[in-house]
């Protein structure tokens, strides 16, 4: 059975509630903007490309009831919707890319009636969803060429169906290699503190009948030392013009380990994750999340003394020098990134 992470159904946003996995595959029907904001904040929907889809659908959800009588009033309402959704999480470029794209389409049609613009925005949101499905499959096709039969692959967080509309970026590469008949052994980092690797990646891979082994995040170095990892692949939340890449906290550590052990380290992401306005990773805003994610095991059992100081960044930045290649929907980009990213993305 194929599943969709997020879609428009019965006049509302239907999404998988990812906080319920792997115990239950449960769907949420999101009917208002506040519920969407909370779903994003609490990671009920998460993963950069899925957030791009949420942005498109969210803008339509926010303006479909507008009673604006002219474009200026409508544009003002649309800006408020975008500002509100933009305040949910700061790091994934795709969220902002989706909001900007919806705004531009609306403005490009300012001479049309408000009801026509609403229809155009609905079509644009559907296009964002469809483009994600296509671009993930392109990433998969480009990336699978870098993987061989019997490779053992380490990954972090969740970059699959649940992080996109229905396929995946880094996991999409793994799925495509598997579809091509390559036998891969996948090691999934649990991904503290919210356990996207343990809860979501292993769930997806097991559903597909693939060979997945769950490890604690601090086990990666030992596996590499024992020669058990042939390749590392991760997704991205935002990629700067020079290739510096923000992704789930712990990614840069894996990249450093991979460099030391001479293991290729790949990033997989669609072009909507690139932010060419920023020169390097220092300019990327890293989301800081609440302390209970660290002190309480997935919000349930306390595992740390009450009141302990907590540092809880959701992402880190991997310097471009540690990245062997960036696999995109336009092809595989290698060093020098500053030059090659611009020519690929043109
Ligand atoms: O905090 P999350 O779960 O939204 O973090 C997601 C990641 O870090 C993913 O690796 C990234 O968004 C790429 S998803 C294809």
Domain ranges of the chain: 6-137, 146-345
The Cα–Cα gap between 96 and 341 comes to 20
Instruction: Return the pLDDT at 81.
Output: 98
109 token code pair = 């049609």
Query: CB–CB of 5/15 below 8 Å?
Result: yes
Ligand 1 center to 10 CA (angstroms): 28
Instruction: Return the pLDDT at 299.
Output: 65
Instruction: Return the pLDDT at 321.
Output: 97
In eight-state DSSP terms, residue 198 is I
Instruction: Return the pLDDT at 76.
Output: 98
In sign, the C-alpha dihedral spanning 245, 250, 252, 258 is: negative
Quick count: other Cβ atoms within 10 Å of Cβ 303? 11
Ligand 1 center to 249 CA (angstroms): 10
Query: CB–CB of 105/120 below 8 Å?
Result: yes
The Cα–Cα gap between 49 and 64 comes to 23
**Cα distance between the two ends of the chain:** 37
Pocket test residue of 46, 97, 190 for ligand 1, highest count of atoms within 8 A of CB: 46
Pocket test residue of 235, 265, 275 for ligand 1, highest count of atoms within 8 A of CB: 235
231: closest CA among 155, 149, 339, 128? Answer: 155
The CATH code belonging to domain 146-345 is 3.40.50.10470
Question: Is any atom of ligand 1 closer than 6 Å to the C-beta of 251?
Answer: no
Ligand 1 center to 183 CA (angstroms): 25
Instruction: Return the pLDDT at 74.
Output: 98
List, in order, residues 6 or more apart from 304 with CB less than 8 Å away.
Answer: 294, 295, 296, 310
Cα–Cα separations (whole angstroms), residue 195 to 65, 82, 198, 249, 250: 37, 29, 5, 11, 12
Domain 6-137: CATH architecture, name and number where available: Up-down Bundle (1.20)
Question: Is any atom of ligand 1 closer than 6 Å to the C-beta of 248?
Answer: yes
98: closest CA among 85, 80, 115, 111? Answer: 85
Split the chain (346 residues) into runs of 10 and give each run's mean pLDDT.
92 98 96 98 98 98 98 98 98 98 98 98 98 98 98 98 98 98 98 96 96 97 97 98 98 98 98 98 97 85 83 95 98 97 89
Instruction: Return the pLDDT at 304.
Output: 79
88: closest CA among 314, 307, 305? Answer: 314
Question: Is any atom of ligand 1 closer than 6 Å to the C-beta of 165?
Answer: no
* Shortest-distance atom of ligand 1 to CA 94: 12
Instruction: Return the pLDDT at 1.
Output: 65
Instruction: Return the pLDDT at 251.
Output: 98
Question: Is any atom of ligand 1 closer than 6 Å to the C-beta of 88?
Answer: no
Question: Is any atom of ligand 1 closer than 6 Å to the C-beta of 106?
Answer: no
**Residue 301: strand, helix, or coil:** strand
């Amino acid at each position: 059975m194929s599943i969709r992470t997020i879609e428009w159904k019965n006049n509302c946003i239907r999404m998988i509630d990812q906080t319920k996995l792997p115990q239950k595959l449960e769907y949420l029907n999101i009917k208002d903007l506040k519920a969407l904001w909370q779903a994003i904040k609490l990671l009920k929907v998460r993963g950069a490309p899925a957030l791009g889809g949420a942005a498109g659908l969210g803008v339509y959800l926010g303006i479909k009831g507008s009673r604006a009588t002219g474009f200026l009033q409508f544009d003002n309402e649309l800006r408020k919707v975008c500002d509100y959704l933009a305040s949910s999480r700061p790091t994934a470029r795709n969220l902002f890319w989706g909001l900007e794209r919806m705004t531009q389409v609306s403005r490009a049609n300012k001479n049309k009636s408000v009801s026509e613009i609403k229809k155009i925005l609905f079509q644009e949101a559907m296009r964002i969803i469809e483009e994600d499905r296509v671009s993930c499959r392109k990433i998969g096709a480009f990336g699978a060429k870098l993987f061989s039969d019997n490779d053992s692959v380490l990954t972090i967080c969740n970059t699959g169906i649940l992080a996109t509309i229905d396929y995946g970026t880094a996991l999409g590469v793994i799925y495509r290699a598997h579809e091509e008949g390559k036998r891969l052994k996948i090691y999934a980092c649990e991904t503290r503190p919210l356990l996207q690797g343990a809860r979501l990646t292993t769930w997806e891979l097991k559903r597909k009948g693939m060979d997945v082994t769950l490890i604690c995040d601090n086990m990666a170095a030992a596996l590499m030392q024992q020669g058990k990892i042939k390749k590392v692949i991760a997704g991205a939340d935002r990629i700067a013009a020079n290739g510096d890449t923000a992704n789930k906290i712990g990614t840069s550590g894996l990249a450093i380990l991979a460099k030391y052990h001479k293991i290729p380290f790949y990033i997989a992401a669609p072009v909507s994750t690139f932010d060419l306005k920023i020169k390097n990773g220092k300019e990327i805003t890293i989301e800081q999340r609440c302390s209970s994610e660290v002190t309480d095991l997935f919000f349930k059992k306390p595992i740390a003394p009450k009141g302990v100081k907590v540092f809880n960044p959701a992402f880190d930045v991997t310097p471009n020098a540690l990245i062997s290649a960036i696999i995109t929907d336009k092809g595989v980009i290698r060093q020098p990134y500053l030059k090659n990213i611009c020519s690929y993305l043109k």
